[in-house]
Structure 1
Amino acid sequence: MPSTLKDNLDNLQNLARERTVKTQNIEFDLETIIKRIEKGIIKLDPDYQRRHRWSDELSSRLIESLLLNIPVPVIYISQDVDVDEEADDDVARFTIIDGQQRLTAIYRFMKGELELAGLETLKAVNGLRYKQLPPFLLRRLDERTVKCLRIDSTLDPQVKYDIFERLNTGSVKLEAQELRNATTRGPFNDALKRMASDTNFRKMLQIPLDDPDSSAKVKKMEDLELVLRFFALRNGQYKDLSKGLKNFLTEKMDNFNHLSTDEIAEMEKEFKEHMSFLEHALGSTSFAKYSVQNGKIIKRMSSFNAAVFDAVSVGAFDYFTRDQIKSKDPAAISRFQHHHLLFEDLDFFSAVSGATADTSKVKYRIEKMIEHLAQ
């Protein structure tokens, strides 16, 4: 065998050995797994996971499956701390790689937070909570176990993220930002979550301030993606958009994660200032979409539109100075007057309607907004 081929095979063998994942099949009864979640031994919502999105009806169907002894998918658990190592009380030894929605549903029900709804087989228990179940059904849950695949991430923490990505890539259940949250980790990803909670931003996104977690935008991390879009496209960066918005945003997020703490802190400050400026100038419907004819608004088609968000937020940021935005300069605000006339432009209307991620449409809607402000 030629030495080059032998060396390549040796390297391949070493790489395969290094990256082979160590796993162990285990089963937990429900009571044990709930206690471990309560004690913080198992972390139910690690940073790379999506937010809980299951409806009460979907959660109830899982509980019904458990009551009927119907098999449920395996739950992937990452072992992050070796069993023999000492760890602080607030450090989880295990995190959930895949199965967060299922375990959250089980936890909510067994803690009395979920009322069964929409069941078709066990209709009689609709409307009941855990402690209200008949004794024989409670015994079934007590004896029910869930199968888990425990993955050793103690030697290489990257393992759990790689597995998460492989389990979910191509899945229609994950939105693009949910996958970025899992696979493009770093300080900017953390900052996105802080910025997305800004009061003015939430007002303009039509996210209820008293219950933001009920918003579909929050559940699917669309709010985080919009913050990312703003930073990825501003300062003329939208002109560099050439290979699709999705990949463009992922690359930008990776780049932003390598910025310094001070740079990210300054970006957070700019974002809050800009959202305050826009809310002051245009109100809670800053990113609304309109139907306009003969210079008059026929109707407001939506109170929020993501493509309009691009046009207004990026266009305004790129046109006005930092001082104008920070001071809420009245002269700057007056530039927004009659901005609804943009929607009468058929090309602009098209750029905020259908296939809005098209690169030419992204560029067009931002540049038209800048043109309008410059008039």
Structure 2
Amino acid sequence: MEPIDHSNFNVRNDEGITPLEELSSDSTGSGLEAEPALPDIADIRAPFDPKLIDVITHQRTVDLLMARLGHGEMDLSPDFQRRANLWSNARKSGLIESMLLRIPIPSLYVAEDKSGNYQVVDGLQRLCAIAHFVRVSSLNKELKTTLDPLRLTGLQSLRNDLDNNGYDDLPRPLQRRIMETELTLHVIRAGTPPNVKFNIFSRINQGGLPLKSQEIRNAIYPGKWREHIRNMAVSQDFLRATEGKIKGERLEDHELVLRFAALYSLPQDEKRQPDENLDEFLNEFVEKRAAGWTEQRWQEMEAAFNHSMRAAQLVFGRIAFRKYSTTDEARLPINRGLFETEAVALAWRTDEEINALAARSSKVIEEFGRKFSSEKDFSNALLYATGKGSASNKRLEVINAIFDGALDA
């Protein structure tokens, strides 16, 4: 195998800015390249019939909600939530102080299942804070933690009277005030169609740490697909190909794998709809196309994925799934669109073709750099809104042409 030449990867986008790494919730790198969206296609949502929205509003006391939590009827840690109980004790104490002062608490959103149980959609940290103070045993059971009961700290108006108090230290009238506090609860009913529910989740999660699309998808579309996508995301082939760089705390790794599975499941000669956005494409895959897959079909998908991950290491080495780089130390983060495209294009190739591409890796990489710098449609398909159908089609067309050219040389 020839050594990989990075010289043609010293390329910047049209604004002369090297793309930055997307940050995770703790302000460290996520391992993925930040992806700006074009103004006219940002946040596209598929249309739906407004009459299908089924949301009701209740007033529920803290006591009632804590009873639900204690009986396992309110899920604070569903598959789509990886960040329960993030608030500091001081911030939690501030919420409890507001309740004691009778200051209204922002409303909560929950999704109801067929048994009437709740998944928390918006307001998770508030519910965790309340439970930590008044029902820590229920919170520990739900989150599988070993928290000590919350003691109030950093209070403002009630500092002199209640600082360092736990719930059991409060006078009974104050305990009653907390437990009888009514919270506004918006319930997304169980019969709401998945695509409508997805839209609702997306719209209401606009706070400080909104849910990612993949987190919402995991919540709304249950099924075997989640287990298989998770298996691929923790496979040694995937971890080696990405060097374990993708944190995945917001299911970014799952979405990468799902992008591969959805695109690879299409016939090779079938293109995506040009105006189709990523959420439409992935949701349709998990709800319809993959819904009836057998275990054997999933095993075939996993085998193709692992094959492509090994091939990416052979052909692209340490710049697999990255657009360009000047040195190994200054490599850019993994690009979502390039991951999807390289993985699918390589999965279609035989072992013999992979070995031939690996032997000509320098030629493959040089041609990629040339096309990225000279073909604006291709570079845009890697820089902006990479989930759009037209961008996906363009990338696959160019990468396949690069592979074909190298094999014919």
TM-score (normalised: structure 1)? 0.65
Mapped pair 1:244 → 2:276: yes
1:96-115 matches, within 5 Å, as 96-104=120-128, 110=136
Report the Cα distance in structure 2 between the residues aligned to 1:252 and 1:359, rounded to whole angstroms. Answer: 14
Report deviation, 1:175. 2.7
Instruction: Name the residue aligned to 2:307.
Output: 273
SS at match of 1:337: helix
Contact 1:278/1:286 (<8 A) preserved: yes
Instruction: Name the residue aligned to 2:336.
Output: 306
Instruction: Name the residue aligned to 1:51.
Output: 82
Report deviation, 1:332. 4.5
What amino acid is the match of 1:249?
L
Instruction: Name the residue aligned to 1:339.
Output: 364
Mapped pair 1:373 → 2:373: no
Contact 1:356/1:362 (<8 A) preserved: yes
The superposition leaves residues 54-95 of structure 1 with CA deviations (integer Å, 9 ceiling, x where unpaired) of 8546x853542223334323334547547xxxxxxxxxx554
Mapped pair 1:196 → 2:222: no
Instruction: Name the residue aligned to 1:128.
Output: none
Contact 1:181/1:189 (<8 A) preserved: yes
Instruction: Name the residue aligned to 1:4.
Output: none
Instruction: Name the residue aligned to 1:218.
Output: 249
Distance 1:338 1:163, change over 3 A: closer
Q: Which runs of 5+ in 2 are unaligned?
A: 1-50, 141-145
SS at match of 1:192: helix
Distance 1:277 1:113, change over 3 A: farther
Report the Cα distance in structure 2 between the residues aligned to 1:290 and 1:108, rounded to whole angstroms. Answer: 48
Contact 2:237/2:309 (<8 A) preserved: yes
TM-score (normalised: structure 2)? 0.60
Mapped pair 1:259 → 2:289: no
SS at match of 2:274: coil
Given candidates 372, 386, 392, the residue that maps to 1:356 is 386
Distance 1:96 1:356, change over 3 A: closer
Instruction: Name the residue aligned to 1:9.
Output: none
1:32-51 matches, within 5 Å, as 33=66, 37=69, 40-47=72-79, 49-51=80-82
Report deviation, 1:372. 2.1
What amino acid is the match of 1:336?
S
Report the Cα distance in structure 2 between the residues aligned to 1:312 and 1:233, rounded to whole angstroms. Answer: 11
Distance 1:96 1:298, change over 3 A: closer
SS at match of 1:25: strand
Distance 1:185 1:270, change over 3 A: same
Report deviation, 1:313. 1.0
Report the Cα distance in structure 1 between the residues aligned to 2:399 and 2:238, rounded to whole angstroms. Answer: 19
Cα RMSD for the two superposed structures: 4.4
Report the Cα distance in structure 2 between the residues aligned to 1:238 and 1:54, rounded to whole angstroms. Answer: 45
1:133-152 matches, within 5 Å, as 134-135=164-165, 139=169, 144-145=178-179, 147=183, 149=185
The superposition leaves residues 315-335 of structure 1 with CA deviations (integer Å, 9 ceiling, x where unpaired) of 2123x12x559xxx6434324
Instruction: Name the residue aligned to 2:220.
Output: 183
Report deviation, 1:225. 1.9
Structure ranking higher on relative contact order (CA contacts 8 Å, 6+ apart) = 2
Report deviation, 1:288. 1.8
Contact 2:272/2:390 (<8 A) preserved: no
Distance 1:324 1:242, change over 3 A: same
Report deviation, 1:227. 1.5
Contact 1:288/1:303 (<8 A) preserved: yes
Report deviation, 1:228. 1.9
Given candidates 103, 108, 115, the residue that maps to 1:75 is 108
SS at match of 1:26: strand
Contact 2:263/2:344 (<8 A) preserved: yes
Distance 1:170 1:198, change over 3 A: same
Instruction: Name the residue aligned to 1:87.
Output: none
Report the Cα distance in structure 2 between the residues aligned to 1:299 and 1:349, rounded to whole angstroms. Answer: 23
Report deviation, 1:137. 7.8
The superposition leaves residues 332-356 of structure 1 with CA deviations (integer Å, 9 ceiling, x where unpaired) of 4324334332123222444322343
Contact 2:53/2:196 (<8 A) preserved: no
Q: Select between 20-29 and 338-347 the one with higher mean Cα deviation.
A: 20-29
Q: Which runs of 5+ in 1 are unaligned?
A: 1-15, 83-92, 126-132
Instruction: Name the residue aligned to 1:158.
Output: 191
Which structure dedicates a bigger proportion of its chain to helix?
Answer: 1
Percent identity over paired residues: 24
Aligned length: 317
Instruction: Name the residue aligned to 1:28.
Output: 62
SS at match of 2:214: helix
Report the Cα distance in structure 2 between the residues aligned to 1:233 and 1:225, rounded to whole angstroms. Answer: 12
Instruction: Name the residue aligned to 2:94.
Output: 64
Contact 1:206/1:304 (<8 A) preserved: no
Report the Cα distance in structure 2 between the residues aligned to 1:313 and 1:281, rounded to whole angstroms. Answer: 11
SS at match of 1:218: coil
Report the Cα distance in structure 1 between the residues aligned to 2:128 and 2:193, rounded to whole angstroms. Answer: 19
Instruction: Name the residue aligned to 2:324.
Output: 290
Contact 2:274/2:388 (<8 A) preserved: no
Distance 1:21 1:248, change over 3 A: closer
